[in-house]
Structure 1
Amino acid sequence: MLTVHHLNQSRSQRVIWAVEELALPYHIVRYQREKTMMAPPSLKKVHPLGKSPVVEDNGLIIAESGAILEYLQETYDLTSQLKPQSPEQKLQYRFWLHYAEGSLMPLLLMKLVFNSFGKPPVPFGLRTLGKGLGQGVQKAWLNPQLETHARFIEAHLSENSWFAGDRLSMADIQMSFPIFALLARGGIDNLPHTQAWKKKVEMRPAWQRAIQQGGPFDLPGEA
Structure 2
Amino acid sequence: MSAKEAAPEAAPKEGLPTLHHLSDSQSQAMIWLLEELSVEYNLVLYQRDKGHRAPPELRNINQLGKSPVFVTTDGRPIIERSAISAYILKTYDTTGKHAAEDWVKDEILNSFAGATLGPLTAIELLFDLATKHTPWPLVYIARGFRKGVQKTFTTAEFKQSLEFLERELGDNEWFNGKEFGRADVMMNFPVDYIYMRKWVDNLELHYPKVTAWRQRVWERPAWKRGIEKGNGYDLAIF
The correspondence for 1:73, drawn from 67, 70, 89, is: 89
Contact 2:47 2:231 in 1 (8 A): no
State how far apart, in whole Å, the 2-side matches of 1:179 and 1:118 are. Answer: 22
- Aligned: 1:6 with 2:12: no
Shift of 1:118: 2.2
Which amino acid in 1 is paired with 2:111? H
Q: Which residue does 1:131 correspond to in 2?
A: 143
Q: Which residue does 2:233 correspond to in 1?
A: 217
The aligned runs of 1:155-174 (5 Å cut-off) are 155-174=167-186
Q: Which residue does 2:104 correspond to in 1?
A: 91
Shift of 1:221: 8.1
Q: Which residue does 2:48 correspond to in 1?
A: 33
The correspondence for 2:68, drawn from 53, 57, 63, is: 53
- Aligned: 1:108 with 2:124: no
Shift of 1:113: 1.4
Residues 136 and 187 of structure 1: CA distance in aligned 2, closer, same or farther (over 3 Å)? same
Which amino acid in 2 is paired with 1:154? E
TM-score (normalizing by structure 1): 0.92
State how far apart, in whole Å, the 1-side matches of 2:109 and 2:77 are. Answer: 24
- Aligned: 1:187 with 2:200: yes
Shift of 1:188: 3.5
Contact 1:66 1:98 in 2 (8 A): no
Contact 1:115 1:135 in 2 (8 A): no
Which amino acid in 2 is paired with 1:77? D
Which amino acid in 2 is paired with 1:75? T
Shift of 1:60: 0.7
SS at match of 2:130: coil
State how far apart, in whole Å, the 2-side matches of 1:213 and 1:107 are. Answer: 29
Shift of 1:212: 0.8
Identify which range, 187-196 or 11-20, moves more after superposition. Answer: 187-196
State how far apart, in whole Å, the 1-side matches of 2:125 and 2:171 are. Answer: 30
Identify which range, 90-99 or 31-40, moves more after superposition. Answer: 90-99
- Aligned: 1:118 with 2:131: yes
Contact 2:158 2:200 in 1 (8 A): no
* Percent of residue pairs bearing the same amino acid type: 36
After the TM superposition, list the runs of 4 or more consecutive aligned residues in structure 1 that deviate by more than 6 angstroms.
Answer: none
**Alpha-carbon deviations, 1:146-177, whole Å to 9, x = none?**
11111111222233221121211121111111
State how far apart, in whole Å, the 2-side matches of 1:188 and 1:106 are. Answer: 20
State how far apart, in whole Å, the 1-side matches of 2:110 and 2:90 are. Answer: 14
Contact 1:7 1:30 in 2 (8 A): yes
Contact 1:33 1:40 in 2 (8 A): yes
TM-score (normalizing by structure 2): 0.87
SS at match of 1:5: strand
Which amino acid in 2 is paired with 1:172? D
Structure 2: gaps of 5 or more residues = 1-15
**Alpha-carbon deviations, 1:85-142, whole Å to 9, x = none?**
x4xx22222222222111101111211111222222x222211111111111111111
**Alpha-carbon deviations, 1:37-94, whole Å to 9, x = none?**
211111111001111000111211111110001011111211112213x4xx222222
